[in-house]
């Protein structure tokens, strides 16, 4: 790639919403490319819309029985092999039961342990449909080894019975030296970046960028809110308080909009201008490869959705509904010609 300077706006876009340096568990997640080269490569990966990894904490087990049921689930009652550090392989329900008993016994021996202290942390590492499951498994193994290593015992299983190949990773909360696993949001972001790096190292294009870098301004709807909204739309439940509050705020005039909404729009404009500036810079290059990249970035910017929050969307729909009602009234009130 030509020696261009990554725009300041895009560097802002790449900065995650949490400071990764505040991670309390993750120290040195895998290797990383140099800052400049990484930013350039990331810019093009975002413009090409490479798949985004998903690393999600799905829960914690509270006792031996809970851990046993969870391990039975991820191993499909012993039909799938559980893999651990140093190539450890657990096959069959008996091996899974012994592992659950060992982890629980280690936790019971912890000095000053609280009765409700969790036994293990459950994670899901996922990629979109069509990704090679074997590479997902190998990447998950490399990620777990680099992130938890010998500090925290862990096992994982690959599931391919869903459209999205994914790995269930279970990590013991009590470390081998007595420390406890207590991840922050910064750790979760570092884990996303580490898993994406492991995938790229195995030839799978993957990224772990913030939503704003991809022009996304609306958070994903949480499952409980979605269920409430679906019941409300079907006429079987009340309007969710979240949507009611959003609709009330959407009715506020734009000049009275909260400062965070104005800041969000301004930041998105800066980020999008950074893409445009890079496209113009590459478009002036003598290299056909750079001009092709410029075209890719331009197409990406043109395809970005409007800068719109969920409240903006509700306000737009309210305006559309009012206009339809006004049009209907005009048709009803229009005098008939004789």
Mean pLDDT of the region 277-290 = 90
Cβ proximity of 69 and 109 under 8 Å: no
Q: Write down the pLDDT at residue 330.
A: 65
- More confident of the two residues 140 and 34: 140
Cβ proximity of 62 and 118 under 8 Å: yes
328 pLDDT more than 70: no
33 pLDDT more than 50: no
148 pLDDT more than 50: yes
* 98-147 confidence digits (pLDDT tens): 999 889 888 776 666 677 788 999 999 999 999 999 999 999 999 999 99
Residues with Cβ within 8 Å of residue 293, at least 6 apart in sequence:
1, 44, 47, 282
Mean pLDDT of the region 188-200 = 92
205 pLDDT more than 90: yes
User: Nearest 5 degrees, angle CA 26-CA 27-CA 29?
Assistant: 75
Residue 36 confidence class, pLDDT cut points 50, 70, 90? very low
Residue 325: phi and psi, rounded to 5, are -65, -40
18 pLDDT more than 90: no
* 149-189 confidence digits (pLDDT tens): 889 999 999 999 888 999 999 999 988 888 888 888 888 88
Mean pLDDT of the region 319-332 = 65
The rounded percent of the chain whose pLDDT value lies above 90 is 34
* 67-105 confidence digits (pLDDT tens): 999 999 999 998 999 999 988 899 999 999 999 988 988
Q: Which helix (H) or strand (E) holds 240?
A: none
Residue 305 confidence class, pLDDT cut points 50, 70, 90? confident
Q: Write down the pLDDT at residue 329.
A: 64
Q: Write down the pLDDT at residue 13.
A: 63
Q: Which two three-digit tokens encode residue 34?
A: 């140099």
Q: Write down the pLDDT at residue 40.
A: 72
Cα distance between residue 272 and residue 266, in whole Å: 10
Residue 195 confidence class, pLDDT cut points 50, 70, 90? very high
DSSP letter at 52 equals B
List strand residue ranges (DSSP E) for the chain, in order.
54-61, 82-83, 89-90, 120-126, 154-159, 166-172
5 pLDDT more than 60: no
232 pLDDT more than 50: yes
Residues with Cβ within 8 Å of residue 183, at least 6 apart in sequence:
23, 24, 25, 26, 57, 121, 191
Q: Sketch out the chain's domains with CATH numbers.
A: 18-209 (3.30.930), 216-333 (no CATH)
30 pLDDT more than 50: no
Q: Write down the pLDDT at residue 267.
A: 79
Distances (CA, A) of 203 to 93, 168, 193, 338: 34, 22, 15, 75
Confidence (pTM): 0.74
């Amino acid at each position: 790639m030509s020696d261009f300077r990554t725009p300041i706006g895009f560097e802002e876009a790449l900065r995650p919403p949490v400071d990764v340096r505040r991670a309390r568990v993750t120290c040195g997640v895998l290797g990383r490319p140099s800052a400049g080269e990484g930013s350039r490569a990331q810019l093009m990966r975002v413009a090409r819309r490479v798949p985004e990894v998903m690393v999600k904490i799905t829960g914690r087990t509270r006792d031996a029985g809970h851990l046993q049921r969870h391990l039975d689930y991820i191993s499909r009652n012993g039909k799938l092999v559980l893999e651990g550090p140093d190539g450890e392989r657990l096959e069959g329900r008996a091996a899974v039961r012994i592992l659950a008993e060992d982890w629980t016994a280690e936790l019971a021996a912890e000095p000053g342990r609280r009765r409700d202290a969790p036994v293990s942390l459950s994670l899901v590492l996922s990629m979109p449909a069509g990704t090679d499951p074997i590479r997902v498994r190998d990447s998950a193994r490399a990620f777990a080894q680099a992130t938890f290593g010998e500090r925290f015992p862990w096992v994982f299983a690959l599931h391919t019975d869903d459209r999205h190949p994914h790995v269930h990773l279970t990590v013991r909360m009590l470390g081998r030296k007595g420390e406890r696993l207590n991840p922050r949001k910064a750790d979760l972001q570092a884990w996303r970046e580490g898993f994406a790096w492991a995938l790229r190292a195995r030839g799978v294009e993957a990224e772990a960028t913030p939503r704003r870098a991809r022009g996304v301004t609306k958070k994903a709807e949480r499952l409980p809110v979605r269920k409430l909204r679906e019941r409300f739309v079907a006429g079987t439940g009340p309007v969710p308080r979240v949507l009611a509050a959003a609709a009330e705020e959407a009715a506020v005039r734009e000049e009275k909009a909260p400062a965070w909404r104005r800041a969000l729009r301004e930041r998105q404009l800066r980020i999008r201008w950074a893409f445009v500036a890079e496209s113009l810079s590459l478009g002036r290059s003598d290299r056909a490869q750079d001009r092709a990249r410029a075209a890719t970035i331009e197409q990406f910017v043109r395809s970005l959705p409007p800068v719109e929050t969920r409240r903006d969307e509700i306000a737009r729909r309210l305006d559309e509904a009012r206009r339809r009602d006004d049009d209907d009234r005009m048709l009803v009130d229009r005098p008939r010609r004789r």
